[in-house]
Structure 1
Amino acid sequence: MHDSAEPSAGTAATRAARHGDSLLRRVGRGAARPFRPPEDVLEPVRLGRELQRSLVTGRRIVVSRPQGWAAESTVTALLALVFAHYRYDRVLALDLGPGNSGLGPRLGAEASGAPGLAGDAIESDSFGDVAHCLEGIGEGLWLLPGLQEEMAQGRLDAGRYRGAVLPLTRFFGTTVIDRAADMTDGLNRAAQASAHAHVLVVPSTRDGAASIGRAFDWMAANGAETLPNRIAVVFTEQTRGQDPAFDYPASAAILRESGAEVFRLGFDRHLAEGTRIDPSRISAATHATATRIAAECLRRSL
């Protein structure tokens, strides 16, 4: 479930075509579909209704990692795709990670030439004008391009984020923000402060659990002991059996005592290729988990 650069053109098509589930598992799931218990059918319906709840004002969800390498761009893209699938209003994706963008390739963004924050119409009160500054990603999903270049050239700081980026989110029911590492610069602090809900992404390892524990200890020591009530922790499995000694149930139980909700996003062959995410090719388990995470984030944002 890597957030790495896209593979070469010669392998991209082959890798993107790979399903998260094996052929045998897909066939077996299809054969068993008529015999599924009622709760297996009702749960997706319930989650869909939660994701379609009406919002008075737009919700902003920030996805980050406490430290080290984690698949936060993959999780950000999955959440944006889930919201765009279920909701009737617009969804905006932002990539505030330093360096090369990891979110755009995961969403299949192309070099559309949209001007982003450099566009003259970005501050318009009409979405029809603003839309020309954005890149459309399928039905209902938009990406604000060029943020890495803005940051690299020093044109995007906390003040411009509050003055130009935050007002843009008023056109969207949900905004999902990839904040990459849990950095402490002014821009990232402003993004964190603007969030209605947070997602912390860590590897599904003992070190990953320890990093979340340290983050929660810091919150408690700095007067933010209620912040976990707005947090969903996502353990991502980068390879099969990544850390056989990791006790996920015990770690999740401890973290939930702080008020956070905890999820485990298992290994998925399609996501592991690092190419554009095709929702029709991710595994059934990934689809179900991503939907639960999105519904929980929306609930916590309210």
Structure 2
Amino acid sequence: MSDDQMPQRSPDQRFPGGWTPAAPPRARPQEPARPQTEPQPEPRPTPPPPSVPPRSRPQPAAEDEEPLDLPDELRKRAARHGDPLWLRLAQTIRRSIGSDSFPGDFAGALDACQRPVTTGRRIGVVGATGGAGASTLVAALALVLSDVRADHIAAVDAVGRPSGLLPRLPAGSPRGGLAGLAALAGAHGEIGLHELRAHAAALPGNLHRLTLDAGDRPLTAADREGLYQGLSRTCAVSLIELDAHADLRHLHALVVAVPATPGSGGAAASLLAGIRASSPGLPVLPVVVNPHACPASDVRLAEANLDAQPVSATRRRTTPAHHLDHDRHLAAGLAVDLRLVGERRRLQVAALAANALHAASGAPGDAA
């Protein structure tokens, strides 16, 4: 039988085991000679585009991009935990045996911070004296509310320059945007979330920071009114740092920071009297702040001075003053990280945020 008459078989049938003999190498056809041309220069590699974050959502500043040039000792102080190591160990042991009430109290305060609001609430923060801790309160309250709420929160510094929010709420974009947003709101009558993001320095999550730039003029009464109305349409809660002479008519509640230092009682009494005369129905939440680790006697004296102040012309305040005790992390004056704030101070901030939001539930200038 010739090879042409043999039945065709697959390679596996002809060679059991799957091995197939290699075919003889085939001669490659010779390519026609190419015409000689001049050598072309090698293309230069295109450099990659610089990694610039989008303007609409600036990224938070890294550690080496902090806008302030500070000594290493101060940076180390800012990175310390508010509670020393021995106290944290004692808290862990106490919680392991079930005799610590902090987790339940803190969870209850955070639940109260999620109170639903119909329109944006505007909560002012003012200090009785310079260095009373108003900027720290604005930053801490804004961080607590932005952590537990899904809507937008604004942290606004309307005092002037230099802003205390810049080191406490650092962002990748150094812009302030407060004056530009106020002018836009006054010109068009309303602003939306797009305009807010275009002017504010966006922080991680849903928190927006607004401050005055170096060349901005102070805000007028018309600027503040348009700004407040615009913030109410875009943000559920706006924490606004104000000076002692600001107009309080468009606020829903006011937090007054009173430092626990000797000599601050007279300034606090004068400030509260002026607030009582100009805005008698505005809910006021005084806070005794201990930024410099003052002794307990000074804290009790500041609280006693507040208790002696009447909330109106006929009655005195019956609710105790809030407290923000000394915290090693908050006292550094740099970026606030709630994970580094001591447990007791963290609970104090959460309780103040919940009470301020509850007090701000009424109409502007009306007691809740």
| TM-score bracket relative to the smaller structure | 0.7 to 0.9
Residue 294 (1) aligns with residue 350 (2): no
- Residues in 1 aligned to 2:95 and 2:195: alpha-carbon distance in whole angstroms: 46
Following TM superposition, by how much is the alpha carbon of 1:32 offset from its aligned partner in structure 2, in angstroms?
Answer: 1.5
Offset from partner CA, 1:2-26 (integer Å, 9 cap, x none) = xxx9561544542321111111111
Aligned to 1:280: 339
CA contact (8 A) 2:158 2:211 kept: no
2:103 to 41, 64, 71: 41
- Residues in 2 aligned to 1:144 and 1:246: alpha-carbon distance in whole angstroms: 32
| Equivalent position SS for 1:276 | coil
2:162 to 100, 105, 108: 100
- Residues in 2 aligned to 1:144 and 1:64: alpha-carbon distance in whole angstroms: 16
Change (3 A) 1:272 1:66: closer
| Equivalent position SS for 2:154 | strand
| Equivalent position SS for 1:61 | strand
1:193-212 correspondence runs (5 A): 193-212=249-268
Q: Which has the higher contact order (CA 8 A, sep 6+)?
A: 1
Give the TM-score of the pair, scaled to structure 2.
0.69
Following TM superposition, by how much is the alpha carbon of 1:90 offset from its aligned partner in structure 2, in angstroms?
Answer: 0.7
Change (3 A) 1:117 1:205: closer
2:270 to 194, 198, 214: 214
| Equivalent position SS for 2:329 | helix
Following TM superposition, by how much is the alpha carbon of 1:127 offset from its aligned partner in structure 2, in angstroms?
Answer: 1.6
1:29 to 91, 105, 115: 91
2:121 to 59, 78, 84: 59
| Equivalent position SS for 1:247 | helix
- Residues in 2 aligned to 1:264 and 1:174: alpha-carbon distance in whole angstroms: 22
Letter in 2 for 1:235: V
Aligned to 1:269: 328
Offset from partner CA, 1:65-90 (integer Å, 9 cap, x none) = 23343111011111111111111211
Comparing 135-144 and 114-123, the one that deviates more = 114-123
Residue 71 (1) aligns with residue 124 (2): no
Letter in 2 for 1:84: S
- Residues in 2 aligned to 1:293 and 1:211: alpha-carbon distance in whole angstroms: 22
Q: Which runs of 5+ in 1 are unaligned?
A: none
Aligned to 2:221: 158
Q: Which runs of 5+ in 2 are unaligned?
A: 1-66, 362-368
- Residues in 1 aligned to 2:298 and 2:175: alpha-carbon distance in whole angstroms: 47
1:108-257 correspondence runs (5 A): 108-113=170-175, 115=177, 117-118=179-180, 125-147=191-213, 149-151=215-217, 154=218, 156-179=219-242, 181-183=243-245, 188-189=246-247, 192-219=248-275, 222=277, 224-227=279-282, 230-242=283-295, 244-248=297-301, 250-251=304-305, 253-255=307-309, 257=316
- Residues in 2 aligned to 1:59 and 1:208: alpha-carbon distance in whole angstroms: 29
Following TM superposition, by how much is the alpha carbon of 1:292 offset from its aligned partner in structure 2, in angstroms?
Answer: 0.7
Comparing 116-125 and 286-295, the one that deviates more = 116-125
Offset from partner CA, 1:35-93 (integer Å, 9 cap, x none) = 34475433222222211111101100000023343111011111111111111211001
| Equivalent position SS for 2:119 | coil
Offset from partner CA, 1:145-187 (integer Å, 9 cap, x none) = 4356423xx5x311122224531331101000011x302xxxx
Offset from partner CA, 1:196-236 (integer Å, 9 cap, x none) = 0000011113533343333334455x374444xx1111111
Following TM superposition, by how much is the alpha carbon of 1:104 offset from its aligned partner in structure 2, in angstroms?
Answer: 1.9
CA contact (8 A) 2:191 2:230 kept: no
- Residues in 1 aligned to 2:93 and 2:203: alpha-carbon distance in whole angstroms: 33
Following TM superposition, by how much is the alpha carbon of 1:142 offset from its aligned partner in structure 2, in angstroms?
Answer: 0.6
| Equivalent position SS for 2:265 | helix
CA contact (8 A) 1:57 1:173 kept: yes
Following TM superposition, by how much is the alpha carbon of 1:291 offset from its aligned partner in structure 2, in angstroms?
Answer: 0.5
Following TM superposition, by how much is the alpha carbon of 1:126 offset from its aligned partner in structure 2, in angstroms?
Answer: 4.1
Letter in 2 for 1:239: H
Following TM superposition, by how much is the alpha carbon of 1:272 offset from its aligned partner in structure 2, in angstroms?
Answer: 1.4
Over the aligned positions, Cα root-mean-square deviation in angstroms equals 2.8
- Residues in 2 aligned to 1:110 and 1:116: alpha-carbon distance in whole angstroms: 17
- Residues in 1 aligned to 2:214 and 2:144: alpha-carbon distance in whole angstroms: 24
Percent of residue pairs identical: 23
- Residues in 2 aligned to 1:170 and 1:206: alpha-carbon distance in whole angstroms: 42
Change (3 A) 1:12 1:241: closer
Letter in 2 for 1:272: A
| Equivalent position SS for 1:280 | helix
Higher relative helix content: 1
CA contact (8 A) 2:178 2:199 kept: yes
Following TM superposition, by how much is the alpha carbon of 1:109 offset from its aligned partner in structure 2, in angstroms?
Answer: 2.9
